Amino acid sequence: MTERKSPTAVLHEGPRALTDEQVREIEESDLKGVLDVDIDDVIEYVHKDLKTLPDFTMLYRKYLEQRWNVYELDFTQDKIDWTEKMTEDERQSFIAIASGFHHGERQVEIELPVFMIGASEEEKLHIAAQIEDEARHTVFFDRFYREVVGLPGEDIMDVLGASFPWVSETFLGPFGLLAYQADEVRRNPYDERARVRYGTNYFLWIEGVLALSVMKVTLSYARWRGFLPAYYTGFTATCRDESRHVQGGMRYLQDAVRKDPTMINEIHDTLRTILSLSGVYSREIYYEPLGWTQDEVRMLFFQQLRRKLGDVGIDLAPDLEELLQRVQPVLAGG
């Protein structure tokens, strides 16, 4: 983690192709090796396979190879960076973004099992693996908040309670919507329309747009400043896990639309709901201390959404394009 590139440099450069060697480095690095992997390459890697999406068995095999041990991370240097090197403004911005993730990981972990019921047997393998990934991500943030930020708490729920004041989504937003959609799927697990609405919010919006944007902002900050090595390692490994989640989710949505082209209406309606709510009832986040402007974060959002939909052959409706221009980005993830 030695490079000192400006955090937004790659945003302005746009998409680029990865070499075979870069792909191998991302796929085969062990946890220690992940510290040397560039976060921009991992975000690019998420999109690499979208045009020819891997099947669920292949994603499950990748999971078995890429699984990492969250208890191997050592946060000693991160604690020093957090308390002695980062400014109060940097800490506040960072925590405002990371808290959405802290809560998001735990929520997606407990809301994924209902989606498994109506899935094909191959997809069940992939979802079982994803639930374990999300559990590990929950422990990653629990450790970061206890050992680096220093929030008090006897158990996972206590520490979540202590970071809640920084969460920017207040009642209404994608996570509130996901709780509702998970309940809909729980009541009718084989209702394909309910599953597509759930999948659009969880895999496309929360993981594919929000989560990858948070990763990009906080990890490019850490790399730029040379701070928080264990956070960088664990969260970049998390990003590699998310690439499997996004690919599986986009595979699911693509198959659903191919089987029944009217499913695209469910995808558009769900995005309409999310975009209409976005930012309206949320606390504002100041990104500047981490090297980002509000406009750059917005640009990152749209890039993330457009690339995913475009790569799997799903178009945006014209009114959604208009809505996108008005959205205030609020970062969180799972």
**Site for Fe ion, rule CB under 5 A:** 105, 134, 137, 207, 242, 245
In the complex, least distance from residue 251 CB atom to Fe ion, rounded to whole angstroms: 14
Nearer to Fe ion, 90 or 109 (CB): 109
State the Cα–Cα distance between residues 71 and 115, nearest whole angstrom: 28
Nearer to Fe ion, 8 or 107 (CB): 107
Nearer to Fe ion, 94 or 141 (CB): 141
In the complex, least distance from residue 135 CB atom to Fe ion, rounded to whole angstroms: 9
In the complex, least distance from residue 294 CB atom to Fe ion, rounded to whole angstroms: 25
Nearer to Fe ion, 41 or 105 (CB): 105
Q: Is the dihedral of CA 275, 279, 285, 291 positive or negative?
A: positive
Nearer to Fe ion, 37 or 86 (CB): 37
In the complex, least distance from residue 61 CB atom to Fe ion, rounded to whole angstroms: 18
In the complex, least distance from residue 71 CB atom to Fe ion, rounded to whole angstroms: 17
State the Cα–Cα distance between residues 142 and 138, nearest whole angstrom: 6
3-state helix, strand, coil split of the chain in percent (to 5) is 75, 0, 25
Task: Report residue 329 as tokens.
Answer: 């980005």
The residue length of the chain stands at 334
Place of tokens 């609020």: 330
State the Cα–Cα distance between residues 287 and 294, nearest whole angstrom: 7
Cβ atoms < 10 Å from Cβ of 170 = 12
Task: Report residue 1 as tokens.
Answer: 């983690």
